[in-house]
Amino acid sequence: MDRQGVELLTDIVLSIHPKYAEAIIDGRKTIEIRKTTPSHLKIHDKIYLYATAPVKTVIGYCEYYRETGVAGAPLTWHLKESCLTEQEFTAYSKYGSVRVWELCNPVKYRFPKPLSSFGIKTPPQSFVYVEKCAFCDGIRPSSKMSDKTMTGVKMRVCDACCREISYKKEAPT
């Protein structure tokens, strides 16, 4: 919760190599190794999987379960569940500790979605926070969301819906 009692939404769009995105969707990869973890990520938040070039689409999503730190050599199950070799892990973690994200409940989209359907113009370097609009159910970057109070209820809506709601309020009846 933030200072005003509004629950922070923490779903993310994650840039990931296609072979790893597919492995997550197939259930073979249940561990993601990253140098950082989004600060507000909590159990069962959605991680939308943007498969990088040459695929360049969001192929589905999974849920975040938990994360743990790893320093030094990986445990055997980290390697198996992350679909990394020991050499790949060592190369990735040679500059410091890494975070281990445990993933669950993968879902593959029947038709992959372009980033533009999430209101994102360029692929994120690592990840970008996204939220679901309370008005249109569209998923948009958190930076393109606003708080709106309607009939005494505070909600998060995308900027496009916010303008539409404001316009309808001001229009003569």
Question: Is residue 2 domain-resident?
Answer: no
Tell me what pLDDT residue 73 has.
Answer: 59
- Identify whether residues 121 and 171 lie together within a single domain: no
Look over the chain and give the mean of its residue pLDDT values, rounded to a whole number.
Answer: 84
- Does residue 15 share a domain with residue 92? yes
Predicted TM-score (pTM) of the model is 0.82
Q: Is residue 1 part of a domain?
A: no
Q: What is the DSSP string of 109-153?
A: EEEEE-GGGGT-SS--SSEEEEEE-TTT--EEEGGGEEEEEETTE
pLDDT band at 50 (very low <50, low <70, confident <90, very high): very high
User: Residue 74: inside a domain, yes or no?
Assistant: yes
Res 147: pLDDT: 82
SS3 for 29-92, per residue? CCEEEECCCCCCCCCCCEEEEEECCCCCEEEEEEEEEEEEEECCCCCHHHHHHHCCCHHHHHHH
**pLDDT value of position 64:** 95
> pLDDT, tens digit, for every residue of 66-89?
987 665 556 677 788 999 988 998
Residue 125 and residue 169 share a domain: no
Residue that wins the pLDDT comparison between 146 and 60: 60
Q: Do 26 and 54 sit in the same domain of this protein?
A: yes
**Domain identity same for 109 and 43:** yes
Using the predicted structure, report yes or no on whether residue 39 has a pLDDT greater than 60: yes
pLDDT at 53 over 90: yes
Number of domains in the chain: 2
Q: What is the CATH number of the domain that holds 95?
A: 2.30.130.30
Please report whether residue 138 resides in a domain.
no
71 with 22, same domain? yes
Between 3 and 115, residue with greater pLDDT: 115
148 and 128 in a common domain: no
pLDDT tens-digit readout, 131-162: 888 778 788 888 888 887 777 777 788 887 76
- Residues 88 and 15 both lie in one domain: yes
Q: Which has the closest alpha carbon to 25: 62, 66, 80?
A: 62
Asked whether residue 126 falls in the same domain as residue 155, the answer is: no
Indicate whether 5 belongs to any domain. no
Residue 66: which domain range? 11-132
Asked if residue 125 and residue 89 are part of one domain, the reply reads yes
137: in domain: no
